[in-house]
């Protein structure tokens, strides 16, 4: 398992994106580059990242929109915005969404890395290895292998069961927004996908009922909450 911090960098300027990608990697980080907001959100929903760097002005989806979607399903991951704008209102919007810092172009790459390191020092990530296994009550959940184990008995999850349980686990004892989870897993929050998600929630409840300290609770009008009483 790599002990490098994994960063998702979203920058639509090809030249700047490649330069930042190379420089940040040279400083010891693992980096994935997305060239627009839609690609960034898809990578985030299907990946496992510990830090986000988002350009504000991007095609498909702007950085603020990406951050809002991310914050609906992950309230802790650090987010740093890059922008050519200097307006106070834009910075206030970024911080209201949940940004950890804001860097205005042009900037030095050394300053960017210094900001990343400063945020990591004060965040829960704190340079820890990327977590690939999660304790869910008495269960051991491995989203990379798509398995959940109890007392040495291992069960393989479907792709959607795995993704849904991963989101619930990352938001354990907090509400997972229903619409945000639908967009992250199914790509659309329409009625039919909602019914499909309810089926997968029922399947996960059937698996988890072997441990009475774990339950998935419906939160009316909002979503679901994975409660760990252990």
Q: What region does 193 belong to: left with phi over 0, alpha with psi -120 to 50, or beta? A: alpha
Q: What's the pLDDT tens digit per position in 144-199?
A: 899 999 998 999 999 999 999 999 999 999 999 999 999 999 999 999 999 999 99
Q: What is the pLDDT of residue 92?
A: 78
Spell out, as residue ranges, where the chain has pLDDT lower than 50.
1, 127
> What is the pLDDT, as a whole number, of residue 3?
73
DSSP 8-state assignment for residue 108:
-
Predicted pLDDT of residue 84 = 80
Query: How distant, in Å, are the alpha carbons of 35, 61, 97, 172 from that of 42?
Result: 11, 11, 19, 22
What is the predicted pLDDT for the residue at 1?
A: 40
Q: Which two tokens stand for residue 130?
A: 């990327």
Q: What percent of the chain has pLDDT over 70?
A: 94
Q: What is the predicted pLDDT for the residue at 180?
A: 93
**Distance in angstroms (rounded) separating the CA atoms of residues 123 and 105:** 24
pLDDT of residue 128: 53
Q: Which helix (H) or strand (E) holds 212?
A: none
* Domains annotated on the chain, with CATH: 6-122 (3.40.50.2300), 134-228 (1.10.10.10)
The predicted structure's pLDDT at residue 157: 96
């Amino acid at each position: 398992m790599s002990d490098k911090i994994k960063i998702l960098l979203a920058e639509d300027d090809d030249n700047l994106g490649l330069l930042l990608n190379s420089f940040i990697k040279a400083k010891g980080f693992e980096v994935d580059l997305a060239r627009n907001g839609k690609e960034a959100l898809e990578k985030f929903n299907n990946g496992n990242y510990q830090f986000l760097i988002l350009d504000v002005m991007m095609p498909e989806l702007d950085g603020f929109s990406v951050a809002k979607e991310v914050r609906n399903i992950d309230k802790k991951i650090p987010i740093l915005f890059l922008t050519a704008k200097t307006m106070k209102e834009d910075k206030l919007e970024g911080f209201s969404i949940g940004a950890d810092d804001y860097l205005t172009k042009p900037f030095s790459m050394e300053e960017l890395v210094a900001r990343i390191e400063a945020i990591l020092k004060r965040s829960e990530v704190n340079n820890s290895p990327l977590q690939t296994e999660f304790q869910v009550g008495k269960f051991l959940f491995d989203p990379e292998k798509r398995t959940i184990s109890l007392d040495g008995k291992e069960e393989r999850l479907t792709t959607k069961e795995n993704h849904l349980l991963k989101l619930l686990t990352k938001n354990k004892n907090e509400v997972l927004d229903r619409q945000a989870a639908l967009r992250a897993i199914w790509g659309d929050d329409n009625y039919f996908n909602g019914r499909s998600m309810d089926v997968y929630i029922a399947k996960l409840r059937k698996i988890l009922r072997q441990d009475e300290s774990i339950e998935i609770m419906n939160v009316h009008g909002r979503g679901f909450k994975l409660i760990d009483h252990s």
